[in-house]
Amino acid sequence: SGGKMSDAGVDTSTLCLFDVDGTLTAARQVGNVCSIQAHMGEELLQDFINFCLNYMAKIKLPKKRGTFVEFRNGMLNVSPIGRSCTQEERIEFYELDKKEKIRETFVSVLQEEFKGKGLSFSIGGQISFDVFPDGWDKRYCLGIVEKDDYSTIHFFGDKTKPGGNDYEIYCDPRTVGHEVSSPEETRRLCEQLFFS
């Protein structure tokens, strides 16, 4: 389809990026040149964590488990139910959250409380939301692959609405964004786009 073809007949000018729940990839650990701890500094980090723990202490849920704030390389992951919940508890929280907007409300409070502190928030998955320095969202990878001279970058994501953790990269002018709801739908769309 007009792209650069390698000797093997493969289009090397097109890159596809995927972030769809239910695929068989390991949990995301976004690596950045420096950690979120180094970027935020200890004082802001502790203020933020203390505020989150205090806020979560006041939320009444059917169940609470452990690991409410998890450090990842480029972000913090905050979970009102706790990341160590079972699959059944995860689904129960997700259904409750869809009705009561627990995470959405929490993020709104944090955006107000930490306005001007250089933090971005992104709701993804079923039980948590991510907190990261401005500019460290999923678009971060686009700056890295820019030098590889791709003519087209397709992004497939399932949290592409405003506030979802795929929204920024889905809307970025450097990508062709595709909203999908399952691995099966992603496969069908890829077959349609690239193999028909």
CA angle at 176 for the pair 178 and 125, rounded to the nearest 5°: 40
Is 148 a known ligand-binding residue?
A: no
Question: What does DSSP say about strands 128-133 and 75-78: parallel, antiparallel, or unpaired?
Answer: antiparallel
Q: Are 112 and 178 in the same domain?
A: no
Quote the pLDDT of residue 159.
84
- C-alpha–C-alpha distance, residues 75 and 6, integer Å: 37
Q: Are 48 and 123 in the same domain?
A: yes
Q: Are 66 and 113 in the same domain?
A: yes
Tell whether the model's pLDDT for residue 43 goes beyond 70: yes
Quote the pLDDT of residue 185.
95
Tell whether the model's pLDDT for residue 67 goes beyond 70: yes
Q: Are 144 and 126 in the same domain?
A: no
What is the rounded average pLDDT of the residues 147-161? 90
Number of domains in the chain: 2
Q: Are 129 and 51 in the same domain?
A: yes
Residue 109 lies in a domain: yes
Among 133, 158, 178, where does a domain finish? 133
Residue 102 lies in a domain: yes
Work out the pLDDT band at 9, boundaries 50, 70, 90. Answer: low
Is 170 a known ligand-binding residue?
A: yes
What's 116's domain CATH number? 3.30.1240.20
Burial of 196 (0-12, 13-18, 19+ CB in 10 A): exposed
Q: Are 42 and 77 in the same domain?
A: yes
Q: Give the residue numbers annotated as catalytic, written as ranges.
A: 19, 21
Q: In the chain, what percentage of residues exceed pLDDT 90? A: 62
Q: pLDDT for 73-131, tens place per residue?
A: 688 999 999 999 999 999 999 999 999 999 999 999 999 999 999 999 988 889 999 99
Question: What does DSSP say about strands 14-19 and 69-72: parallel, antiparallel, or unpaired?
Answer: unpaired
**What pTM, to 2 d.p., does this model score?**
0.67
Is 128 a known ligand-binding residue?
A: yes
Q: Look up the domain containing 143 and give its range.
A: 14-22+137-195
**Tokens matching residue 44:** 């802001």
What is the rounded average pLDDT of the residues 23-35? 50
Among 110, 133, 156, where does a domain finish? 133
Mean pLDDT of the chain: 87
User: Which of 137-141, 162-166, 192-196 holds the top average pLDDT?
Assistant: 192-196
